[in-house]
Chains A and B, each alone.
Chain A
Amino acid sequence: MIRLARPLAIALGLLAIWELVVRATGVPHFILPAPTRIAAAFAARGDLLFEHAVTTLVEILLGFVVGGGLGTLLALTLAASATARRWLLPLVIASQAVPVFAIAPLLVLWLGYGLTSKIAMAALVIFFPVAIALHDGLKRTEPGWIDLAQTMTAGRRGGAARILFRIRLPAALPALGSGLRVAAGVAPIGAVIGEWVGSSAGLGYLMLHANARLQVDLMFAALLVLAVMATLLYLAVDRLVRRLVPWAPDASTDLLSTETG
């Protein structure tokens, strides 16, 4: 509980300053609503926020699974086959030159206003960091392990595949973990962009409409829900990665327990 005290104190302090600034300057609520007003919007529109939050959460989670899965699959394909590396790698890198914002309308056109286009969008932004991080990790296996493994499997069929799955992939799990952490950070962006371009539900949709109607307090409330969801996703992925690679030196950032001193 003590490790929660400090971030809580920081948050409460900032909110108090915010409240004071709004009251002192008398800025209109449709420009910057006071925290108390946002809290009121929360109380009044809680079920609406919840409903849209569920939609966005589903998009983010499915996008994460699809994008992470495809990224992993691609990285393994690139590691297993030199031909795939020659043909696919330039294509993968070039694909990142196309901004996601630019393809968003196309995806909505092709896949419709519903969940599918948002999942595709989230998967699209997640796929790249996961694929590249794992690809790098698979390339950087300790050369001594590969030498040893090749001596052990000399003249045996299936040796390369077993070296990939029993040595190179486990060795690359910390790298995959970094990729998944980055992906957890960008996943909500993909889903929200998808909702902005064309949708009938989700926090992005809600924010867009609240903004147009000058319900800035509701917009802030939606933003807060989105931020909490993104943080929880990051923490969950971080926890999962640590459980997956207990042997790796810990390189992640823990939001709650950095230096107690």
Chain B
Amino acid sequence: MQDRVAVATPLGVRLRALTLSYGGAALIREVDLDLAPGRITCLLGPSGIGKSTLLKAIAGLLTPDAGRIEGDDGRPLAGRVAWMGQDAGLLPWSDALGNVTLGSRLRGEPPDRERAQALLRLVGLAEAAAMLPAKLSGGMRQRVALARTLYEDKPVVLMDEPFAALDALTRHRLQAEAARLLAGRAVLLVTHDPAEALRLGHAVVVMRGAPAEFSQQLTPPGDPPRDPTEPAMAALQRRLLAELGAEVTA
């Protein structure tokens, strides 16, 4: 297997007039959003604004109060979405390989151990296939989760702050690997870190207000993973911080 992972037919995502509420309060009201096929869209916003709820709605884990969520082919997304959260969510009784192939076992299909092994090699964990999660570091666990996400081989990938719990160096490395390995899929990556959004996003959308609204999509130049310390990126980062409502000096 080469550097890139086989990609199913690319698929975009359409949200139309979507209304979501949590505990009786509207989080978002009648908003539209498009995720371009094969592109990483970063959704940036402060904690508690409803980013995770939106992600769960797209994953089909909760039903929106109103509006539509569908693929850009007009059909529902069920079964065409892979999910990766902040916590790796590995089953502690299953080894790394078993966790990567979890989806197969839950669908009653025979697990493709060879492909799982190849994906583990791709995320740098060839030696760890038989190890239990308790024996892995935080970064290794998140790599297993990334391999599991790729094993699902879905055209749409939803990521909920997948690198937030990692140390800076591990985060930097994993961001680059994820950007490379997820190429060709429509990725919606939720984050509260403008630098991460600029590093990974083909497009960046800011979510703010209550009920929340989406900003214009910002499309930084060049392909991810970018270097957020470049002068051009630093300027964009200031702009994003300002959009998030921070008082920007300097």
Binding site for B on A (CB under 8 A): 142, 144-145, 147-156, 158-159, 162-163, 166-167, 170-171, 245, 247-248
Cα separation A200 to B53 with both chains bound (whole Å): 65
Contact status A144-B85, CB under 8 Å: yes
Is the Cβ of A145 less than 8 Å from the Cβ of B91?
A: yes
- Provide a sorted-by-A list of 25 A–B residue pairs whose CB atoms are within 8 angstroms: A142-B89, A144-B89, A147-B56, A147-B59, A148-B83, A148-B102, A151-B60, A151-B61, A152-B102, A152-B106, A153-B103, A154-B60, A154-B81, A155-B78, A155-B79, A158-B108, A159-B106, A166-B102, A166-B105, A167-B91, A167-B106, A170-B91, A170-B93, A247-B132, A248-B92
Min CB gap A69→B, angstroms: 22
The reply to whether B79 and A156 form a contact with Cβ atoms under 8 Å apart is: yes
Closest to B82 in A: A151
CA–CA, A73 and B92, complex, Å: 24
Question: Contacting B87 at CB < 8 Å: which of A144, A153, A167, A170?
Answer: A144
- Given known contacts A144-B89, A145-B89, A248-B92, is B105 in contact with A151 (CB within 8 Å)? no
- Chain A residues with CB under 8 Å of B78's CB are 154-155
Which residues in A have their C-beta under 8 angstroms from that of B85? 144, 147-148
Minimum-distance CB pairs A-B, first 5: A152-B103, A155-B79, A151-B83, A155-B78, A154-B78
Q: Contact at B107–A147, with CB atoms within 8 Å?
A: no
B79 contacts which chain A residues (CB < 8 A)? 154-156
Cβ–Cβ contact A245 & B106, under 8 A: no
Q: A154-B78, A166-B105 are known; give 20 further A-B pairs, CB within 8 A.
A: A144-B89, A145-B89, A148-B83, A149-B102, A150-B59, A150-B60, A152-B102, A153-B106, A154-B81, A156-B107, A158-B108, A159-B106, A159-B107, A162-B107, A162-B108, A163-B106, A170-B93, A245-B93, A247-B92, A247-B93
Q: Judge if B152 is at the interface, Cβ distance under 8 Å.
A: yes
Q: How many residues of B contact A (CB 8 A)?
A: 25
Which chain A residues lie closer than 8 Å to B102 at the CB level?
148-149, 152, 166
A interface footprint on B69-82 (CB within 8 Å = 1, 0 otherwise): 00000000011011
- Expressed in whole angstroms, the minimum distance between the Cβ of B132 and any Cβ of chain A is 6
B80: nearest chain-A partner, CB-CB:
A154
Which chain A residues border B89 with CB–CB below 8 Å? Answer: 142, 144-145, 148
B6 within 8 A of A: no
B134 within 8 A of A: yes
Chain B residue with Cβ nearest A150: B61
B193: min CB distance to chain A, Å: 20
Interface centre among B105, B106, B132 (most CB of A within 10 A): B106
Task: Tell me, rounded to whole Å, the shortest Cβ–Cβ distance linking B46 to chain A.
Answer: 22
Q: With A and B bound together, what is the CA distance between A142 and B90 in angstroms?
A: 10
Minimum CB distance partner of B55 in chain A: A147
- Cβ distance B70 to chain A, nearest Cβ, rounded Å: 14
Q: Is the CB of A152 within 8 A of B93?
A: no
Shortest C-beta distance, A138 to chain B (Å), equals 15
Q: Is the CB of A151 within 8 A of B59?
A: yes
Contact residues, B91-116 vs A (CB, 8 A) = 91-93, 102-103, 105-108
Per the bound structure, the CA–CA distance linking A142 and B85 in Å amounts to 13
Judging by beta carbons under 8 Å apart, are B107 and A153 in contact?
yes
B81 in contact with A151 (CB, 8 Å): yes
A156 surroundings in chain B (CB, below 8 A) = 79, 107-108
In whole angstroms, what is the CA distance A149 to B103 when docked? 7
Closest to B59 in A: A151
Contact assessment for B60 and A152 in the assembled complex, using a CB-CB cutoff below 8 Å: no
A154 to B83, CA, bound (A): 12
Q: Which chain A positions have C-beta within 8 A of B93? A: 170, 245, 247
A247-B134 Cα distance, complex, nearest whole Å: 8
Instruction: Tell whether, in the assembled complex, residue B107 and residue A152 are in contact, meaning their CB atoms are under 8 Å apart.
Output: yes
A155 and B60 CA atoms in complex are apart in Å by 10
> In the complex, A154→B69 CA distance in Å?
15
B contact residues around A149 at 8 Å (CB): 102, 106
Would you give the shortest CB distance from A169 to chain B, in whole angstroms? Answer: 11
Give A12 to B105 CA distance when docked, in angstroms: 55
CB atoms of B61 and A147 under 8 A apart = yes
CB of B89 to closest CB in A, whole Å: 4
Docked CA distance A156–B158 (Å): 19
Closest B residue, CB atoms, query A146: B61
**CB neighbors of A among B142-165 (8 A):** 152, 158
List chain A residues, Cβ under 8 A from B59.
147, 150-151
